[in-house]
Structure 1
Amino acid sequence: MKIIVPMAGRGSRLRPHTLTIPKPLIPIAGKPIVHRLVEDIAAVINEKIEEISFIIHKDFGVQVEKDLLAIAEKLGAKGTICYQNEALGTAHAIMCAKESLQGPVVVAYADTLFRADFSLDTNADSVVWVKQVEDPSAFGVVQLNDKNQIVDFVEKPAQFVSDLAIIGIYYFKSGETLRAELQYLLDNNVIKGGEYQLTDALENMKQKGLLFVPGKVDEWMDCGNKNVTVDTNSRLLNFLMADGQNLVSDSVISNNSTIIQPCFIGENVVLTNSTVGPNVSIGNDCTVTDSAVRNSLIQNHSHIHNANIDNAMIGNYATFDGNFTSISIGDYSVLE
């Protein structure tokens, strides 16, 4: 089994954090989004992962590439870096990793996390991960027949046809078949909105009689902007605590401070005269002094003083000293 992760987008809705780090490498509960994503996929497919191909922009830099290859290595897989330097759509992005489109493959967009308890139907030609939503008009949805087979893909339906939203993760029994359909779009310049779309390839495959079935997830967590990313961090912390995971490092120094679970607190963190939690993630080598921190995500090497923050997202190497409560500041920023 191979996993292809298109992640070349700039993550503009999550700025300033994505000015210095690609969105999929932002840590949620102490681990990069893309790392958690491929771990969750591995648990669902229950097969050995041979290769993970990360599709990035060439400007992401050497360190980002090293970090991604390390994620693949931790999962016992070969890591491959591919480049998409023009935003030409989902189909074009996947074709940037066309050498990896061989055998069974999962395509997963790296701005979402999920919780699921289903077994992958490897007898189907394709499985499309979906989640039941209250407002399907904001999403691409799938329509099912009475055999639980996908019979239609509808983009942002104005009238109700289904409440099963496509979350951006797909399994294909044959990477070669997917590659041929994507190549057809590129060769024949099949473009919508200025981009080559994966959904056009899916529709062509369905018209040729390939069997598509849904993989229904229990939870779908977005990381598109600051507010939903902080919320995803909170939700994931609660799931991990329910799973019995200890997320507070033994190296944490707590001086007259209280930790209200669930929290992730990394290595070499010093808490002084502070209350941290619930639903807080703090990265490595941070200090929190004379502060109250709730429902927030703080990355590495940052320092918080005299603060009362809630629904906050603070980047790396940041210093915050003040009375603001709902903030989003990026790497190397200082508020005093």
Structure 2
Amino acid sequence: MKIIVPMAGMGKRMRPHTLTVPKPLVPIAGKPIVQRLVEDIAKVCHEPIEQVAFIIGDFGKEVEQKLLDIAASVGAKGTIHYQDQPLGTAHAIMCAKEALDGKVVVAFADTLFKADFKLDTSSDGTIWVQQVADPSAFGVIKMNGQNEITDFVEKPTEFVSDLAIIGIYYFQDGAYLRSELQYLLDNNITDKGEYQLTNALENMKNKGTKFVPGKISEWLDCGNKNATVYTNQRYLEYIKDEKDLVSPSARITNSVIIPPVFIGDEAVITNSVVGPHVSVGKKTGISDTVISNSIVQESSDVRNSNLTNSMVGSFVTLQGKQSDLSVGDYNTIRD
């Protein structure tokens, strides 16, 4: 099994947090979004993960090494591929065309999920979906009585289905997918100027490929600050029974910790109330502070503050704030 992860986007809705790191490397409950995504896909697959192909922009060698390490963490070989222009989802996948053979999962790195199913690798293809209240904002699927997908409808103006496509797909034959994507590129078949995966899916379906839905129990967005803080909250609930969510090297003095929380290596918590639903990165200090439902990344210093629904980057100095905050890396804020 191979996993292909297109993640070359700029993450503009997540600024200022994506000015210094790509959005998929923003941490959720102590691990980067893309690592959580890859690990969760591995859990629903019956087979070992052979390769994880990351499609990125010019993110730098340090980021590339982190991605290779993420692949290694699930026992896979990591490979790096580049998308220099944002020309659509089909174009992005084809930037890693060398990885398109055999069984393949394509997962766009801006969403996380909770799934109770095991992937049926005997199917031609599986499109992961979630029931939503307002399908008009999403691409949705229609099904027949045999649980097969009959139609893909992009942002329907009238109700046709409430099963939204979440951006994760399984293909039994990666080489067949590659040929269909190549057909789009060779014949300049675009939608609003971009090469779209949905056009290839439609062609494959019309040629007899039988797609089935993979219905997840929860779809978690990481598109902006509020959504990411909420995803962190939900993820901490999922993993609250795991060991070592509070690192043994963290130093906690005269403080109250209200689980579930994640506290990273060498964090220092003093005279504070932390939790519930707080993630604290490694080497971050929190003192004389009350903080709940928030993310504080690495090597930051938070003092005399009262924070909730907040996201604080790395190497931040924050003193004397009572706020709902979104603070990027390397900022200093004092009252």
Q: Which residue of 2 aligns with 1:81?
A: 80
1:314 Cα deviation from its structure 2 partner: 0.5
Larger deviation: 315-324 or 125-134?
Answer: 315-324
Alignment of 1:1-336 (within 5 A): 1-57=1-57, 59-241=58-240, 243-336=241-334
1:76 Cα deviation from its structure 2 partner: 1.0
1:322 Cα deviation from its structure 2 partner: 2.0
1:124 Cα deviation from its structure 2 partner: 1.5
1:307 Cα deviation from its structure 2 partner: 0.3
Please give the alpha-carbon distance, in whole angstroms, between the structure 2 residues aligned to 1:254 and 1:64: 31
Please give the alpha-carbon distance, in whole angstroms, between the structure 1 residues aligned to 2:301 and 2:308: 16
Please give the alpha-carbon distance, in whole angstroms, between the structure 1 residues aligned to 2:114 and 2:242: 16
**Deviations for 1:288-332, whole angstroms, at most 9, x for unmatched residues?**
011000100011000000100011001110110122311111110
Please give the alpha-carbon distance, in whole angstroms, between the structure 2 residues aligned to 1:68 and 1:89: 22
Q: Any idea what SS the aligned residue of 2:47 has?
A: coil
**Deviations for 1:86-145, whole angstroms, at most 9, x for unmatched residues?**
000000000000000010100000111111011212221110000011111111011111
1:245 Cα deviation from its structure 2 partner: 4.1
Q: Any idea what SS the aligned residue of 2:41 has?
A: helix
Please give the alpha-carbon distance, in whole angstroms, between the structure 2 residues aligned to 1:63 and 1:223: 22
Please give the alpha-carbon distance, in whole angstroms, between the structure 1 residues aligned to 2:44 and 2:303: 42
Q: Any idea what SS the aligned residue of 1:141 has?
A: strand
Please give the alpha-carbon distance, in whole angstroms, between the structure 2 residues aligned to 1:142 and 1:245: 39
Q: Which runs of 4+ in 1 moved over 2 A?
A: 243-246
1:194 Cα deviation from its structure 2 partner: 1.3
Q: Any idea what SS the aligned residue of 1:161 has?
A: coil
Q: Any idea what SS the aligned residue of 1:162 has?
A: coil
Q: Match for 2:67: what amino acid?
A: L
Please give the alpha-carbon distance, in whole angstroms, between the structure 1 residues aligned to 2:109 and 2:27: 12
**Deviations for 1:186-212, whole angstroms, at most 9, x for unmatched residues?**
011011111100000000000001100
Q: Match for 1:42: what amino acid?
A: A
Please give the alpha-carbon distance, in whole angstroms, between the structure 2 residues aligned to 1:103 and 1:192: 28
Q: Match for 2:197: what amino acid?
A: L
In the alignment of these two chains, the number of paired residues is 334
Please give the alpha-carbon distance, in whole angstroms, between the structure 2 residues aligned to 1:175 and 1:212: 14
Q: Any idea what SS the aligned residue of 2:322 has?
A: coil
Please give the alpha-carbon distance, in whole angstroms, between the structure 1 residues aligned to 2:168 and 2:333: 39
Please give the alpha-carbon distance, in whole angstroms, between the structure 2 residues aligned to 1:50 and 1:208: 29
Please give the alpha-carbon distance, in whole angstroms, between the structure 1 residues aligned to 2:290 and 2:310: 12
Please give the alpha-carbon distance, in whole angstroms, between the structure 1 residues aligned to 2:81 and 2:242: 37
Please give the alpha-carbon distance, in whole angstroms, between the structure 1 residues aligned to 2:143 and 2:120: 16
1:73 Cα deviation from its structure 2 partner: 1.1
Q: Match for 1:298: what amino acid?
A: V
Segments of 5+ residues of structure 1 without an aligned counterpart are none
Q: Any idea what SS the aligned residue of 2:39 has?
A: helix
Q: Any idea what SS the aligned residue of 2:118 has?
A: coil
TM-score by length of 1: 0.98
Please give the alpha-carbon distance, in whole angstroms, between the structure 2 residues aligned to 1:275 and 1:56: 39
Q: Any idea what SS the aligned residue of 2:239 has?
A: helix
Q: Match for 2:45: what amino acid?
A: I
Please give the alpha-carbon distance, in whole angstroms, between the structure 1 residues aligned to 2:112 and 2:151: 24
Please give the alpha-carbon distance, in whole angstroms, between the structure 1 residues aligned to 2:126 and 2:65: 31
Please give the alpha-carbon distance, in whole angstroms, between the structure 2 residues aligned to 1:287 and 1:305: 8
Q: Match for 1:260: what amino acid?
A: I
Q: Over aligned residue pairs, what C-alpha RMSD do you find?
A: 0.8
1:83 Cα deviation from its structure 2 partner: 0.1
**Deviations for 1:60-85, whole angstroms, at most 9, x for unmatched residues?**
00100000001111111111000001
Please give the alpha-carbon distance, in whole angstroms, between the structure 2 residues aligned to 1:265 and 1:2: 32
